[in-house]
Structures are given as structure tokens and as C-alpha cells.
Structure 1
Amino acid sequence: MLILVARDGPYSPGPNGEDGSLIPRQVLFGNPDKTSVKISPDGSQISYLAPANGVLNLWAAPAEDPLRARPVTNDTHRGIRSYAWAYNNEILYLQDTDGDENWRLFKVNPGPGKGEVECLTPKGCLAAIQKISLYFPNEILVCINDRDPRYHDIYRFNLSTGNRSLLQKNPGFGGFITDDQFQVRLAVNLTADGGAEYLVPRNGSWEIILKINSEDYSPYLSSPIGIDKTGRMLFFTDNRNRDTAALKVLDLDSGRETLIAEDPNADASAVLVHPRDCTIQAVAFTYDRKHWKILDSSIEKDMARLREVADGEMDVVSRSLDDKAWIVSYLRDNGPGDYYYYNRSSGEARFLFTWNKELEDKPLARMHPVIIKSRDGLDLISYITLPLGRDGDGNDHPDRPLPLVLLVHGGPWYRDNWGYNSIHQWLANRGYAVLSINFRGSTGFGKSFMNAGNLEWGGKMQDDLIDGANWAVAEGIADPDRIAIMGGSYGGYATLAALTMTPEAFACGVDLVGPSNLITFLESVPAYWEPLTGLFRVRIGDNTTEEGRAFLENRSPINHAENVTRPLLIGQGANDPRVRQNESEQIVNALEKRGIPVTYLVFPDEGHGFARPENNMAFFAVAEAFLAQHLGGEFEPIGSDFQQSSITVPVGAEEVPGLKEALKARDNTSAMP
């Protein structure tokens, strides 16, 4: 029997926003109340990330009394975004410096009277947790690229002393899989032709047990997941001789493969792993919405019970080692997600908190999955959000065409998903329809769909975005004269490509950390991406041949800058290691030389995207005024959103209403004694 302990009062969306009120940017883009909730291995404590003095820090509380939570770190600048529990009940977390992605590993003891933070890895290199094992509670495996920045070696760390010893030197592989006994069981070698090899250590050398060609290989389609507790069975996703990626198990001794789960429409997207046995108990597939396939009958009743607890897509996000306590999250589209503590023995599902209580009474809109046909017949799984009160007959279409923002995801080997999206909500609240399209090359829909994006940056991938905008016009959703394109990373590239290669298609564009020159982009990626260069040549273009360079030049927005006729806003983190600042500088300089207006925002303490909420709010404050100027939506004045931000505007401050004044006010305030 399910025992449901509810929060204080039922959740209900706020008013429909017909009074024109705007949701403050602080609510949409500020810190969450609580996020990344986990339970300690022994089940005694709950942890999460939450603001302390306005900065995300680690908090911990007794599992039976979450209200007694206290911060166990005291970061005052960038905040903590990723962490894990060690089996000695210490917490491990990663942090970089101002977005440089040279992640360092720290530890802290969350116990009473504890809280002293200790750094475990050196500066100037990138560290990542390789393995945490219940059999070695005071040790962990860490991979570090301090010997050769291209490759990560595996070290065994003692958490008490901080001492480390080399476990596995990397001869040039893309990565390793280790088991709970801290044995290296598998290496993945990424080949020069864009494929991969799985190798096992035998008799002092490496033996290939499985080869994947470039058509089948992608880190998102064919990828190792983990090893079972015997150390001999590898769980992996695989799409050889099939289209969608299925979940399989490979016997590392015999080479025998066994199919575990598959879906004809979608790739395996997530797994639920037993905390002690390391067996996979459920696998998720996501086409337009996520659904779980249960593999282990021992959790069927639990999953059925939990589906009754709350609305939204359910995930088991953390489990105690004895598997008696689960942390469960529920994602909805028009409200903040919920966290529950689930006691498997009693069947009690106890509400903990939402991740942003301020959103509970705000007028948030629904997100609707739609399928858009590309001009050559592909199904493009997409998501549209409409402003509240604009769909009188409930047919998911507005009563009259609206200004629309085409929001393009990054990657491009990534995908858009259903669920709460702060940018969708922000734009819909300001009066825009918002459309996100899983264009060809996006992940999750099989290898044919993904491979259809090979060598199509600025080509058919761009056509899919144009087709989506045309669909919105034909459906009466979008006003053809008021469509903007906006995105980050690859989405930023798509924005630049749209304004340079199809200059009349959009009214304006917003680019965040997008590459403008594919040759300089490929030649300046981080050294630790070296194993991926073969894959990049297959999927983006070959910068090592004369023919390939000519192709990449043609697909680079920088070489079509003279075509730009529509307003452009560009945002860049000065420390971005993936899309370096030069990518934005090039296009800004080219437009300036031609007298084409552009507004350029630079954040000195950010990298590939913005971690500090103060910088996010500053960026979106400018973007909001920019979009309102060119599409006619509502906007909240910039006000004091710059006060704690590092924002600089080297070019084009006069192009955006209120931008110069807000900068001056910020600078005058900071200059006051």
C-alpha cells in the first residue's frame, strides 16, 4: 500500500497572466531553492545544492529531519554544480575557475563540527571521478590529464591522506571502464576514421573484442555504461545492425552479446542501476516523452506506487546502499519539479520540497510535443510553448499568429526534451510562442537520424530549422515578420548561420557562445578532445585536407558576414575552452568593418555558458530588451540586474534600449565608497 505524505496544500498553477504581469527574471534565472538531491550511502543523510549567501553550496541534513539542513561548504563566487557521496560519508565535488573547465576535485566531511574543504587535485589540469566503490570506502579512482593534456590517466586516491598512486597510464585511449574492485576492465579507443574499438587487458597487452565503424559509433549511440559486480559483464548501448540504440550486455570473457531492451523509435536514454549489485533494473527510452521499461520484477511494485505520487515524469535520482531509501524526482512542464523521500519498506513517499517554491504561484505555460515534417520527409520531434490565454479553444494553436522565438539546442549531438524550461517560460511570459526543434543530427532518435546530420552544419540541419519556422507560420502560430532565432553553442552557430546564409528568414538573432569559423573552431578545441578529432572530421568536416577546408570555409558564418541585414546580439564567456572568445570576436569585427550593427556582451568570469545567476540574469535582461525592440513582446526593464554581474559591452551598447544606462548605473554604484 502506498502511503503518501503530501506537502502543505496542493500544487496549483497561478493565474493565467491575463493581467499582463511579468514573472521576474530573478525567479526564472536565479538560483534554485534546492537541486541535485541525494541520499548518503548509509541512508542517514540527505544532501543537496542550495544558496548560501546567494551562491550555490552543498547542504546536508539528517534524512529523518531535512529541516535541520546546514551548509557544509562556503563558496562565495561561482557556486558548486556537481558532487557525489563517497562511501566513507564524505562528499566529493568538482569546481573549475571562472568557466575554464579545468575541474579540480574537492572533498568535505558534512558531519557535525566538520566542514573543512580539502582540494585533492592540482591546478592547470582536468580531473574527473572515475570510480567510487563500496569495497574501498576510503579510496576513489580519479582520472587526471596532468601528464599529457590530451589523455587522462587513472590514479588511486586515498581520501584520508590525499596521496595518489598511478593505476593506469593512458596510451592514447578515449577512456576506461573500471569495476568495484578498482580493476581496469575495458578501454575505448576512438579511431581516426570516426569509429571505436573496445579493448580488454590480457597478458600485459590490449585485445580488441568489439569494433564499431563510424556509421554506428557515437558516444551517444554506442557507449559503455558499466560493469556488473563480477567484473566480467559489460552493459553498453549498441546500434550495430539496427537503427535505434538498444541496451545489451557483453561477456568480456567469451565475447557473447545479449540484447536486454530496445525500442523501435528511440535510443536507450537512461538506466536505473542497483546500488550494490550493479545490475540494470530499468531502462528509459525517450521519443517525445520519457517512458521506463522495467527489467527487474523486484522494483515493479515500487515503480507502480511512485507513479501515483505526483504528476510529471518520474526519476529515481539517488538510492541508499541497502536500497531501502530512494530519492525520487518528478518533472512537470508548467511548474517546479518535486523531490520525495521514498521508504521502500513502509511504502511511504514523503514530500521533501520543490526546487523553486517561488514558481508555484506563477503563471507558467504548458509545453506541447509536435512532429514537424522536414522538406525531405524526416520526422522532427519538436516542442512548442504558447503564452497563457492565447489559445482560446484549447487546440494548441494561438487565436492569432504571435511573434515566435526559434530556440535551438546546443551540441549539436544533444536533444530537446519535454519538461520545465526556464527560457521557454520566460519567452512565453513575455508574449512569444517558443519552438524547439530536434533537427537532424540530434540524439535519441536512432543512427539514421543522427547520421543525416553528418557534414550538414549550415546545410540540411539549417534547413530543418527553416522548415520548422515555416511550419509555425503555416499553422497560424507565428507571424512571419516577427520570428527570431536564438541558441547557445551549436545553437549559437545556427543563429549566425541563419543571419548570414538566409539573411531574410528571421527578424533578429541571439547567439550565445557560438562558433563563427569552423576551421578555427576545430583547430582550437581543448587538448583533451584529441581522441574525438576523427569523429569531428566525419560529422563536421575535415580541416586537414584542402577540399575539407574549402567545405568548412563555405559553411562558416564568418565568410558570409556581408549578408547580414538583421539585428544580432552576441554573448561570450571570456574563458570558454570549447568555443573560444576569438569565435565571437571574428564575427563582431567583420560586422563592424562593414558598418552592420551588432551588440556584443562579454563576461570575464564565465566560460561555455554562464554559471553565475547574476550573469545569466544580466544576459537575459539584455536579450529581453533586444527581442522586445525587434519582435514587439513585453519586457521587464534591466533595472538592477547588472549590479552583481561582470557584464561588459565592447560593442553596440547603444543598439539595445536601456543598456547604456544600466551599465552606467552599475559602474556608478560600484565606484561609490
Structure 2
Amino acid sequence: MRSLLQIPSVAARDVDTEGRTLVSYDVTGSAQLYEVGADGEWRQLTDLDGVAAGRYLPGARAVVVQHDAGGNERGQLSLVDLDSPDVAGEGPLPPLVPFVHDPAFVHRLAGVAPGRVLYLTNRRNGVDFDLVSREIASGKETVLYDGGGYVAEVEASPDGRWVALTRPNAPANSLQLLLVSTEDGRIEPLTPWGDDAFVRTPSWQPDSSALLVSGNPGREMTAVLRYDLAARTWSEVVADPGHDLVGWVSPAGAHVLVASNDDGAVSLALHSLPDGELVRDLDLPAGGCAALHRHPDPVWSQAGDAVAVTYSSPVEPPYAVRLDVASGTSRAVRPPDRPDLPGGLVAPESHRVATPDGEQIPTFVYRPADGGDGSAVLVIHGGPEGQSVRQWQPMVAALVAQGHTVLVPNVRGSTGYGKRWYALDDVRRRLDSVADLAALHDWLPTIGVDPDRVALYGGSYGGYMVLAGLAFQPARWAAGVDIVGIASLVTFLENTSDYRRAHREREYGSLANDRDFLHEASPLTQVDAIRAPLFVIHGANDPRVPLSEAEQIVAALRARNVPCELRVYGDEGHGLAKRANQLDAYPAACAFLAEQLAKRPGGTSDRGEGVA
């Protein structure tokens, strides 16, 4: 585990026309910004306490940096002048100049343009996000949108007349597309569809005549769609009835880069516009994830001659790739002096596990090379509207190396398998997704796993699933590892950040209308049933799932003499971003699972029947 965690990762943030790539690189212990020149030379740009992300400023040798403090997600924006001389006495890094700072509120980088930066902030009331344009030279700010809600993505039209943005719609999982006039503030909804459509990645044609998005109105899978501003009509550009597609238009408007999600393997291809015909598949290894899901989105260079993407696979840690559009060839940007990868890394098998109600759970199975020792760990993703994909997961690799068979399921409610599947856990169907854990457990003997030696592991919503499995199915699980998980859906919604409450009630149900069910579906309500040992990890600054969620489940279990360990990290938020904390928590979690799942000669299970 320790050797896997110390393998550094690189993520692509931006690319310019001179062959330079802006990346995040975590060799220092947390992800910082570096510039990698065309000659392969690395230059560190930030050395902050928390994670740094950023973009190049068009028309200038500068970077706008987004950073927070201790994982609190209250992002601040600063500028780095890449042509400035190093400041004497302050080390080799260029100076970081505050640009938009107010530590009481969130500021998210939303876009860059010559001479200005677009950002989203909740500083007006702490709940709603406004879109602001700020001029670099004068500092003048213009509010482009203050229509309320949580704004997900923003894209300004090249002619400056419009801003397209996505905002959560009333139904769970849906996002609506809004067109905002920068001249008079008029807001025009562009998604008047009758179903729960999901829309993302708005991008403009260079003449501002049309807008391309990735969406699934009236269809199961996401396609690349075009909206014509003059005709006010929608048309299909690239679609595949069996796979989700996501697209990003090139600055010149001649191509659209399309990511295709095939059971968690994400590949990239270049298509022509306006016809959507395939030009070429891009030069990336098969069997991994080239975009989406914990990776930054691909970024086009301003000239449209190159694209920067992040790639990883179950056997390859994340690295940046610079793709040449003309030739389709790629140049990998891997960490300098990266240590050798350990042996025994394995790719998963893909299975579909049947449930009692006739569904099929997409599931990846990672098997130790020697077949394992008969134990298993289920690793459940967060979200809930997320997907486990075929990418680098050090904990999965470590558990496999420890001898466990590891299942990574996409239980109902996961994305990537169609609109119907990701809606099957909404609001009062929450416990149907928990029931999927029981179906997976019952299937394990078919692949040689001892059903008495199985544990649950998950973070965020996956942490909720761990606690729910232990509480609602106590006969099935030998142990659990909960990372920043939800113990009570009621107290979670009461205590999460104000802006997140309004956003998350769409998925879980509202305190006003669904409190009875939220209480019923909470692991804390059934805590008396839990008897499996539990290992809990949480960040003290978590703005999404407050630390109180961990504290109350641990207190309740300790009062009942159920073995429970809690590790709290004072400089972390929603998960562990710093390597020092990862090296403390994750090997300990591995050791905990090894102990709880060890063979005990002559031992018998005293677990009774639980609730399925």
C-alpha cells in the first residue's frame, strides 16, 4: 500500500500552442501546478498547503490558480506571471498574486478569455452561485448571471453576447441548459424536454451561431447534440445507442473531440463538424480511462492544434497526454523519475450480477494472480450519481496484492449504463441500491469466495453504502471501512453546506417532504443491528459530509461495544488529498481488513440472519 501511494500522478490542466502543458503533479505530497515545456523540462509553479488547479490565460504568459485551505472547498483565485523573475529570498517559485479572495465563500474558476476570467461564487447569500466576469488589468467585475441555484458548467460565446450554463433541474440527476444574454441579463431555458435529461459540456462554434452539448433528452445514452441559435432547433451530431458520449468542440469549430464510455473504458476520437463523421481514433492505450470520472476534462489549445487529456488504467497511474490533432499522435507527460510499478497489478474481469428483481449489476472483479485466499472486499463508489471506471485505484491494487478478491460494482443509481439505471435509486428507492449489495454477496460463492469473509469499503456515498450494508444486512458482512460517509441522511442534510443541501435534496429527498423515509433509510437508525468491526476515516474540514456524521456513528457503536476505529485529519476535507495522511490512513485500513478477513482455523460464524 505504501509503495503504491507514493507513485506520483500527473493530470492535464491546459495546453498552449508553443508545446507547453500545464499539469497537476503530486510529488510534493499534494497536487501542485507545474509547466512542462516542449523540451520536456519541468517547472514548478505553486507550493500551496492544499490542492492547486488552474488554466493558462489566453494572450498572456500567465496562469490563474484555484486553491483552497485544508480541503474546505472554499476556492480562491490567484495569478502567476510566468515571465516574472523569481523573487529573491522566496525560493524558485514565481510569486502568487491574489486575484479573487474571500475565505468565507466559494470561488470556482469557470472560464478564461483574453484579458478576463469567469468565476462562480456563492458570496451573495452563501447558497446561490453567481457568474462573474473580472477584468485582469482593472479588476472591474460584471455579474453575468445571478438567477439562483448551483451552477455546474459555464461557457461564454466567442462574440461575448451569450453565456451558456448548466444548472440542476428539479428531478434528480437532471441538469438544465440556460442561455444568458450578457446585454440585458435575459435567461432562456434551452432544455424544455419532458424527461429527466442530463446536459453537460456546453461549447460554442467559433462564430457563436450554434452550441454543442452532451445530453440525453428522449434517449437512454448521452449523445453530442447541436443547438442552432437562429433557428432555435436541436439536432444530433454524434450518437451511439449503446454508449454514453461526451464532446468538446475545437476552437476553430472544425472538429469535436468525443469520449466514448464502454463499460468504464473511456476512449477518445476526433469527429468532423458539422456532419459528425469519424476522422480518427486517438492514440491512447486500450482498457483505460482517457477522460471523465475524477480526471479533469480534456482541454483544447487556443489554436485548436492540440488537446491535453489525462489517462490512467488499473495498471497505469494517471499521466497527462498531449494529442496532436493533425496527425492523431500523442506525447505522454509522465512524472520524471517515476519509480517502477510493483508487480502483480491486474486488470478486472467484467461481470453482470443478477438481482432478485431481475436487474443486472455491472461489476468489475479483480482477482489475485494466485487465486486469492477466499476473502473479498466490495469497493463502492461515491456519488451516488457516479461510476466506477477502469482507472488507477491504489487501494484496489493493494487489496488484491494482499490476497483479497475485489469487487467494484456499479450498483443501481450509477451513471454510464443508461438513464433508467441511474434513476433506480432516486429518493424513496434508496434502499433498492443497498439491496444490490446483498445480491453481490450472494453471488460471491460462484467465483470461489467464502461468504463469511467479505468486507465493504467506500467513500462519501460509498461510505453510506458501507454503513447501510452493515446496518441493514448484518449477517452478510465481516467488516467495513467508511471514508467520509453518511451515517444519517437526516443529519447530513441538516448540517451540510447550505448550497449543497438544496442540490442534494433532489437526489436523496427533502427534509420537508421525505424526513420519515430519510430517517428509515439511515444506518444510524439501525445501529443496534451492526456488529461488524468498523474503520472510519474523515476530514475535519469536510464541507459536504460533516465530521459529525463520523463522530455519531462511532459513538453509537462504541456505546454498544462494537469494535470501531476513527481517524480524523485536521487538514483534510471530503477525502484525503495529502500523501502524508494517505500513508497514515490507508495502510492502517488495509491492515484492519487483513485482520478481520483472515482465516481462523476451526472458527465458525456466529452471524444470524439479517435484513436483505
Quick one: which amino acid aligns to residue 96 of structure 2? Answer: V
Residue in 1 that maps onto 2:356: 375
User: Which protein has the larger Cα radius of gyration, Structure 1 or Structure 2?
Assistant: 1
In structure 2, the CA distance between the partners of 1:164 and 1:212, relative to structure 1 (3 Å rule), is farther
Distance 1:324 1:189 in 2: 31
Quick one: which amino acid aligns to residue 260 of structure 2? Answer: A
Deviations 1:150-193 (A, max 9, x none): 122222223345x1312324132443542234443345564556
Quick one: which amino acid aligns to residue 515 of structure 2? Answer: R
In structure 2, the CA distance between the partners of 1:344 and 1:273, relative to structure 1 (3 Å rule), is closer
Distance 2:561 2:159 in 1: 63
Distance 1:580 1:527 in 2: 12
Alignment match of 1:165 (pick from 116, 133, 141)? 141
Distance 1:305 1:159 in 2: 36
CA positional deviation for 1:439: 0.5
Contact 1:365–1:385 at 8 Å: present in 2 too?
A: yes
CA positional deviation for 1:448: 0.9
Alignment match of 1:90 (pick from 59, 62, 76)? 62
CA positional deviation for 1:517: 0.9
Contact 2:224–2:247 at 8 Å: present in 1 too?
A: no
Distance 2:28 2:163 in 1: 44
Residue in 2 that maps onto 1:603: 569
In structure 2, the CA distance between the partners of 1:273 and 1:208, relative to structure 1 (3 Å rule), is closer
Contact 2:177–2:189 at 8 Å: present in 1 too?
A: yes
Deviations 1:496-524 (A, max 9, x none): 11111111110011111111111111222
Residue in 2 that maps onto 1:258: 235
Residue 455 of structure 1 pairs with residue 433 of structure 2: no
Quick one: which amino acid aligns to residue 227 of structure 1? Answer: W
Residue 620 of structure 1 pairs with residue 586 of structure 2: yes
Structure 1 stretch displaced more, 139-148 or 487-496: 139-148
Contact 1:271–1:284 at 8 Å: present in 2 too?
A: no
Q: CA RMSD in A?
A: 3.0
Deviations 1:182-241 (A, max 9, x none): 44334556455656654445766434443245x514xxx333522322334222233332
Residue in 1 that maps onto 2:33: 58
Residue in 1 that maps onto 2:439: 467
CA positional deviation for 1:366: 2.1
CA positional deviation for 1:148: 1.8
Distance 1:355 1:438 in 2: 35
Residue 439 of structure 1 pairs with residue 411 of structure 2: yes
Alignment match of 1:244 (pick from 221, 232, 243)? 221
For residues 170-569 of structure 1, the aligned pairs below 5 Å read 170-175=146-151, 177-186=155-164, 188=166, 190=168, 192=170, 198-201=177-180, 205-213=186-194, 215-217=195-197, 221-223=198-200, 225-268=202-245, 270-277=246-253, 280-292=256-268, 294-296=270-272, 303-304=280-281, 306=283, 317-327=298-308, 330-337=311-318, 339-343=320-324, 349-353=330-334, 357-390=338-371, 402-455=374-427, 459-476=431-448, 478-529=449-500, 531-532=502-503, 536-537=505-506, 539-545=507-513, 548-569=514-535
Give the match's secondary structure for 2:452. Answer: strand
Residue in 2 that maps onto 1:645: none
Contact 1:31–1:51 at 8 Å: present in 2 too?
A: no
Deviations 1:482-508 (A, max 9, x none): 100010011110111111111111001
Quick one: which amino acid aligns to residue 353 of structure 1? Answer: R
For these two proteins, the number of residue pairs brought into alignment is: 579
Contact 2:29–2:579 at 8 Å: present in 1 too?
A: no
CA positional deviation for 1:580: 0.5
Contact 1:504–1:566 at 8 Å: present in 2 too?
A: no
Contact 2:457–2:463 at 8 Å: present in 1 too?
A: yes
CA positional deviation for 1:248: 1.2
Distance 2:588 2:23 in 1: 31
Residue in 2 that maps onto 1:36: 11
Contact 1:128–1:144 at 8 Å: present in 2 too?
A: yes
Quick one: which amino acid aligns to residue 430 of structure 1? Answer: Q
Distance 2:362 2:336 in 1: 27
Give the percent of matched residue pairs that are identical in Structure 1 and Structure 2. Answer: 24
Distance 2:386 2:267 in 1: 18
Distance 2:500 2:176 in 1: 17
Distance 1:341 1:207 in 2: 37
In structure 2, the CA distance between the partners of 1:198 and 1:459, relative to structure 1 (3 Å rule), is same
Alignment match of 1:132 (pick from 96, 112, 115)? 112
Residue in 2 that maps onto 1:578: 544
Distance 2:442 2:234 in 1: 45
Alignment match of 1:69 (pick from 36, 42, 64)? 42
Contact 2:35–2:44 at 8 Å: present in 1 too?
A: yes
Distance 1:342 1:582 in 2: 45
> Normalized against structure 1, the TM-score is what?
0.79
Structure 1 stretch displaced more, 357-366 or 585-594: 357-366
In structure 2, the CA distance between the partners of 1:179 and 1:458, relative to structure 1 (3 Å rule), is same
Quick one: which amino acid aligns to residue 204 of structure 2? Answer: I
Residue 629 of structure 1 pairs with residue 604 of structure 2: no
CA positional deviation for 1:549: 1.4
Give the match's secondary structure for 1:120. Answer: strand
CA positional deviation for 1:416: 0.5
> Normalized against structure 2, the TM-score is what?
0.86
Distance 1:352 1:197 in 2: 36
Distance 1:71 1:502 in 2: 49
Deviations 1:288-328 (A, max 9, x none): 43344542189999845725x78855569444333334446
Quick one: which amino acid aligns to residue 146 of structure 2? Answer: N
Distance 2:155 2:299 in 1: 21
